């Protein structure tokens, strides 16, 4: 009587690998929640005003735009690329839409939002075409467009400044108003985050972002339209940066040409700290949002504790290095576990 050795089908093995990776990085997101709880607890003990109603509202408002940009950046980083132009897009859109509204208050908020998203999407389209179809490295492309967009912004501004008194009250209410005590901006960010997270996890085209980041060559051989997906990622990042520019205008009212200057590195830090691997293929928009919340909370805690602002940048840099190191260690361990599991099944 002969013994027949069976091996599990490839789809089952693939599901097992994905489940293992998901479990590891879900633990990463839980660790961010734990770090937030500890940080908030320690700061609240040192200064009870930190958890006041206004204090919590300020943290949510300050996190919302950064988290929105992190959601768009996550899609780009998942495909093993990067978008360094998001900060300059926010500045350009904030000033352009502010100038558009201040010239005529009768222009509706919806039209301003559409204009802002369109400008951001156009910038994302340029980035996406150069990266996906012209094969120019993403770092070079987006660094170049960062300076080009900044130059256009300075040219349009000519040293001018948009003030809150020049804007219609409806727009300012969008940035500072609330429903049932919850500010509008965090609600908008949460809705977009949930929609994007559902799409990436539940639709085949969304899963293809992960496949491209894991191995662009294998994704191409599998018939995935790599160029179109990368282009879509940049379009999404640009569109959300455009929306972020409108929300920036609504939140702060006063806008100059260099609004959100330097935010591109803060956005990348939030994404990487949130567990989206800089090498692509791993992570979630939920983790990126948690990363944005953690960085914002650290900044607010340092202000409350009267710590030199320099340390906020130092802590952000340290967290970025730590996150990249942890991603590398986790990737190696996951690969080792998968190899052992495959050997046992043979």
Phi, psi of 231 (to 5 degrees): -60, -40
pLDDT at 325 (0 to 100): 76
pLDDT tier at 13 (50, 70, 90 boundaries)?
very low
Mean per-residue pLDDT, 167-179: 87
Q: How far apart are CA 97 and CA 87, in angstroms?
A: 16
Domain interval for residue 196: 49-341
- Res. 322: pLDDT tops 80: no
Number of domains comprising the chain: 1
3-state secondary structure of 200: helix
Answer yes or no: is 61 within a domain. yes
Answer yes or no: is 26 within a domain. no
Q: What is the largest CA-CA distance in the chain?
A: 90
Answer yes or no: is 270 within a domain. yes
What is the average pLDDT value for the chain, to the nearest integer?
85
Spatial contact of 244 and 35, defined as CB atoms under 8 Å apart: no
CA nearest to 116, candidates 132, 136, 96, 138: 96
Answer yes or no: is 117 within a domain. yes
CATH number (domain holding residue 92): 1.10.3470
Answer yes or no: is 160 within a domain. yes
- Of 53-57, 202-206, 239-243, 334-338, the range with the highest mean pLDDT is 239-243
Structure tokens, 175: 């940035």
What confidence tens digit (pLDDT) does each residue in 275-290 have?
Answer: 888 888 888 899 999 9
Mean per-residue pLDDT, 137-145: 95
Query: pTM to 2 decimals?
Result: 0.87
Spatial contact of 288 and 271, defined as CB atoms under 8 Å apart: yes
Answer yes or no: is 20 within a domain. no
Element (H, E) at 178: strand 178-179
- The more confident residue out of 40 and 225 is 225
Q: How far apart are CA 15 and CA 51, in angstroms?
A: 42
CA 166 vs. chain centroid, Å, equals 30
Spatial contact of 78 and 288, defined as CB atoms under 8 Å apart: no
pLDDT at 113 (0 to 100): 94
Answer yes or no: is 244 within a domain. yes
pLDDT at 46 (0 to 100): 85
* Residue position matching structure tokens 């996951």: 334
Residue 221: CB atoms within 10 Å: 9
Answer yes or no: is 272 within a domain. yes
pLDDT at 194 (0 to 100): 96
Element (H, E) at 179: strand 178-179
């Amino acid at each position: 009587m002969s013994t027949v050795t069976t091996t599990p089908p490839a789809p089952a093995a693939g599901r097992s690998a994905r489940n293992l990776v998901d479990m590891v990085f879900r633990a990463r997101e839980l660790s961010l929640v734990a770090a937030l709880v500890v940080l908030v607890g320690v700061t609240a003990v040192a200064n009870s005003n930190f958890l006041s109603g206004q204090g919590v509202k300020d943290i949510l408002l300050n996190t919302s735009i950064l988290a929105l940009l992190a959601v768009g950046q996550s899609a780009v980083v998942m495909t093993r690329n990067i978008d360094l132009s998001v900060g300059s897009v926010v500045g350009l859109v904030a000033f352009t839409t502010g100038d558009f509204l201040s010239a005529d208050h009768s222009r509706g908020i919806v039209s301003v939002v559409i204009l802002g998203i369109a400008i951001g999407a156009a910038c994302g389209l340029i980035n996406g075409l150069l990266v996906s179809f012209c094969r120019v490295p993403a770092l070079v492309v987006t660094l170049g467009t960062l300076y080009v967009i900044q130059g256009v912004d300075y040219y349009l501004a000519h040293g001018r400044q948009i003030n809150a008194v020049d804007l219609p009250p409806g727009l300012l209410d969008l940035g500072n108003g609330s429903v049932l005590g919850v500010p509008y901006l965090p609600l908008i960010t949460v809705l977009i985050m949930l929609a994007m997270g559902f799409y990436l996890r539940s639709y085949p085209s969304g899963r293809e972002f992960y496949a491209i980041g894991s191995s662009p060559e294998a994704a191409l051989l599998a018939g995935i339209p790599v160029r179109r997906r990368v282009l879509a990622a940049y379009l999404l990042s640009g569109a959300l940066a455009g929306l972020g520019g409108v929300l920036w205008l609504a939140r702060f009212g006063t806008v100059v040409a260099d609004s959100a200057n330097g935010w591109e590195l803060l956005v990348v830090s939030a994404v990487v700290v949130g567990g989206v691997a800089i090498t692509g293929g791993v992570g979630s928009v939920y983790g990126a949002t948690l990363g944005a919340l953690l960085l914002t909370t650290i900044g607010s805690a340092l202000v409350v504790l009267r710590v030199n602002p320099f340390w906020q940048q130092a802590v952000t840099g340290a967290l970025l290095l730590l996150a990249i190191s942890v991603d590398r260690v986790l990737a190696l361990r996951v690969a080792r576990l998968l190899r052992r599991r495959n050997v046992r099944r043979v």
